[in-house]
Chains A and B, each alone.
Chain A
């Protein structure tokens, strides 16, 4: 009995040994002989996905990501919790926010094929953008050069226009919410000037979104106008959990489909 076992193990070993040698040879051959057979790009219209439930796509910067929120949910997370309580429908959220993203980068992002597919499937699209364009990590405030701010705003307008028209060309039905900026520096010196700048900026965003059907500009300036320090994270720039909840409540009140 033992003898048979040994024979079995030996024979299996010999065969597997040959198999692995062959595998290794193939690996080396494939690695060193990779004549560039190009891989076909995916055809643009390939995928059918189930469209049941409500599909929300969130685009933008650190606000979409939830930077500063202790639980990491961000306004998108709180919004989802609220919606799940109110509705029985299946919710699907795709959060494509990237920290530090500017409007130029977002304009690039919405051109990606998979992002476009997500946009196509969406019932609601949420966008937070512009904070990094305007404040540039506090640099704008340090200089406070109105001429320069004007230039930034023109640049931003062009990008947002591109983003919205790209979204509309993919999806004519979804409601698009462009969430406005608040002034995180409202407690500091030059508050009047900075608030003026942010208000002008928001006005521009509202003007641009008005050009597109079913696009809604959502102001947040007033939410953070009084007692701003209560709603900001320790970096004095991003909202904290309470701040995010305020934004989520405001957006939740507007959502319909």
Chain B
């Protein structure tokens, strides 16, 4: 088995997929770092101060002003109200929600990319693990070996798990190093509040507690890893089912993008919460943001995603072992 996995790893490295994805990430992270840098400069100029308390207070006031406008949807109003109470909580407890430094950037970046950017990167690797064997014709050579088919597929799946982990590590290292050049490398021990829950549209602070930022980031990456793995598994299934890599990627892309659009407008369509793409924003539960549909929680999203992934795995294996290859 180890040899099979090793063999698959060699193929993956030869194809330079990991390298390409890493380079894409490096370029994007540089762009976001620059954008973030400009933004913080602008805020500083507008307020004439570097005091985070003043900045945070101003953010709260800005949101309150938006809330007092009449042309604002109920959904959005709820989201904003929760954000205000959370920021007020930070302010009242004298904790800076965005201690300047690279770790804070990493934290914000993983939160923003968990739904779309990261799954897309994973998809690039996962989508052609099996289907590329079809398109290059090597699948026949592979299957004529005296190894059972399920073992071959399992070795490919393990390779996927490994490359997901590898890419996420690259994602973390790159965003830390690149943003660190601009913002400085300190801030691992800055306190972060977690344990906010949203109940009936109100922020509940009963379970709130402080943890150091490095722990928070590790927890977020753990959840991001799970999300990436689920997305990878689904792409893997498509790669088994659909011979054309492009078609498989297209389907997955459509799902992921529809997820981001849907989560901003599904609150009245309750059964949409069983769709996997609505459940990708797992890090929001740590942060204490209102979920897109009432009643969603970390446990719920976790089970939904796990069920989707398990089903995808079963389908992949059944299909791969039964399929006629010609």
* Chain A positions near chain B (C-beta within 8 angstroms): 2-3, 5-6, 9-10, 12-14, 16-17, 19-28, 30-32, 34, 36-43, 46-47, 49, 53, 65, 90-101, 113-115, 117-118
Select one of A17, A24, A91 contacting B161, CB under 8 A. A17
CB distance from A118 to the nearest CB of B (A): 7
Q: A28-B298, A92-B47, A94-B47 are in contact. Are A39 and B223 (CB under 8 A)?
A: no
CB distance from B322 to the nearest CB of A (A): 30
Chain B contact patch, size range: 35 or more
User: Contact at A6–B221, with CB atoms within 8 Å?
Assistant: no
B218 interfacial contact with A, CB 8 Å: yes
Q: A13-B165, A23-B222, A118-B57 are in contact. Are A31 and B285 (CB under 8 A)?
A: yes
Q: Please name 18 further chain A to chain B contacts, defined as beta carbons within 8 Å, in addition to the given A9-B13, A42-B92, sorted by A numbering.
A: A12-B169, A14-B162, A14-B165, A16-B166, A26-B215, A26-B218, A27-B220, A30-B219, A36-B209, A41-B93, A42-B95, A91-B48, A93-B47, A97-B65, A98-B65, A99-B68, A99-B69, A117-B53
Select one of A26, A90, A92, A94 contacting B219, CB under 8 A. A26
Q: A31-B298, A34-B209 are in contact. Are A95 and B222 (CB under 8 A)?
A: no
Chain A contacts for B225, CB-based, 8 A: 17, 20-21, 23-24
Chain A residue nearest in CB terms to B165: A17
Select one of A9, A16, A92, A113 contacting B168, CB under 8 A. A16
User: Contact at B165–A6, with CB atoms within 8 Å?
Assistant: no
Select one of A21, A27, A30, A46 contacting B94, CB under 8 A. A46
CB distance from A8 to the nearest CB of B (A): 9
Chain B residue nearest in CB terms to A101: B68
Contacting A at CB under 8 A, from B173-217, are 193-195, 206-211, 215
Select one of A12, A37, A94 contacting B166, CB under 8 A. A12
Chain B contacts for A43, CB-based, 8 A: 94
Q: A27-B222, A42-B92 are in contact. Are A9 and B18 (CB under 8 A)?
A: yes
User: Contact at A2–B13, with CB atoms within 8 Å?
Assistant: yes
User: Contact at A41–B299, with CB atoms within 8 Å?
Assistant: no
